[in-house]
Amino acid sequence: MARNSLTIGLTALFAYLFADMLIRHMPLDFGVVIVGAAIATAAFMIATKRESGPVPLAYALVIYGAGQIVTTAFSISLEHSIDQAILFSLYVTALVIAAELATIWPPAVFLAAMRNASWLLIVVVAFITLFSAAVGRDLRPPSPNVLAAVFNLLLLPSLVEFVERPRRALAIWIVAALALIFVTASRGGWLGLAAGLVTLAAHYRARMPAIWSRARLYLPLAVPLGAIAVVWQITRTDHSTRFEFWLVALGVFLYRPIVGSGPGTFNIFWSHLHPPPFFQAMHAHSLIFNTLAEQGVIGLIALAVVALAVMRAAWRDAGLLAALMAFAAHSLVDSLNVAPAVMIVLAVLLGSRLGGLNAFTIS
């Protein structure tokens, strides 16, 4: 009963996050919830006289935070950069809370709660898709790349859970999640999903025959759905190119190679070169190019430190590692670090899994 109540509470929390994402795309007010959760967690630890354990990825996060501070100090727009610094602090807070709670709550509860809450997104996207078909218009879901990234993070650990303990309800959610990722028409999301699946295949290479024999039971449903999705996507013509974004980012980097223009400032250069009504890009649609433009060499080094630490810490958790590989591959063509919903889900996933495994970063 206690575990069910906990799952329900966490589901409501993430349902709020996902609803906020659909409405406004940038849920800054979710920070109030995170700060409140931090205060409640601290009060609980004081009341029960629990000692805080090591913070996952502590040294790497300190290095990245130092890079954030330095590049913000030299930013061309302090307002934009301070906003990004606040968001980074919220992500770290979410990670620490999840890691602390995972020492007393099963890490699987966090994933189950986020998976339950994601049904809100699945229902909304299904409605948009059906409405689009009914009126004869080609409508895409809101924030398609963000949706694809969130579901990749949830789907890949869920696949591992299904392999270890098959359940019909989980199988239904997996099929729905795969359908949603296809419907978003996010090529970066597809790239990330492919990278995550390859990671899982490598991990389970010795068990692939047994897994395949079990997966064949779902082929009568999966094959027609997959065929419909592929045909539908091939006929779409609304995809955009990233090349021009990357050229502008490279130009900003060459202009300020050490500290960049400052976190959150790419749009200033883009709007100067492409004033309205031209499409306004808030980021460079690539974590690498966006980091080069906004934080220069300092930011790129800090990012590399975090990436190395995260991959090393997650090495023993196949689901988490696959989710991180999906995030990394998708980030090559999208700046997922500027999407609060994606980063909060990633922070909770990292904190809960690493906290539960006691797998902490290198020094």
pLDDT (tens digit, 9 = 90+) per residue, 151-200? 999 999 999 999 888 888 999 999 999 989 988 888 889 989 988 988 88
Classified as helix, coil or strand, 57 is: coil
Q: Which pTM value belongs to this model?
A: 0.84
Cβ neighbors of 153 (< 8 A, separation 6 or more) are 323, 326, 327, 342, 345, 346, 349
Helices (H) and strands (E) in the chain, counts: 16, 0
User: Do 201 and 322 touch, CB atoms closer than 8 A?
Assistant: no
Q: Distance between CA 123 and CA 129 in Å, rounded?
A: 10
310: confidence class by pLDDT, cuts 50, 70, 90? very high
Quick: pLDDT tens for 336-360: 988 888 999 999 999 999 886 653 3
Give the DSSP H/E element, type plus range, for residue 186.
Answer: none
User: Do 18 and 120 touch, CB atoms closer than 8 A?
Assistant: yes
Q: Distance between CA 77 and CA 57 in Å, rounded?
A: 29
Burial of 153 (0-12, 13-18, 19+ CB in 10 A): buried
Neighbours of 316 (CB within 10 A): 12
Cβ neighbors of 134 (< 8 A, separation 6 or more) are none
Q: Distance between CA 352 and CA 322 in Å, rounded?
A: 16
Q: Distance between CA 132 and CA 140 in Å, rounded?
A: 8
Domain locations along the chain = 2-25+57-243+264-357
Q: Distance between CA 285 and CA 191 in Å, rounded?
A: 14
- The CA-atom distances, in angstroms, between 5 and each of 51, 214, 287 are 25, 32, 38
Quick: pLDDT tens for 186-209: 888 998 998 898 888 887 776 556
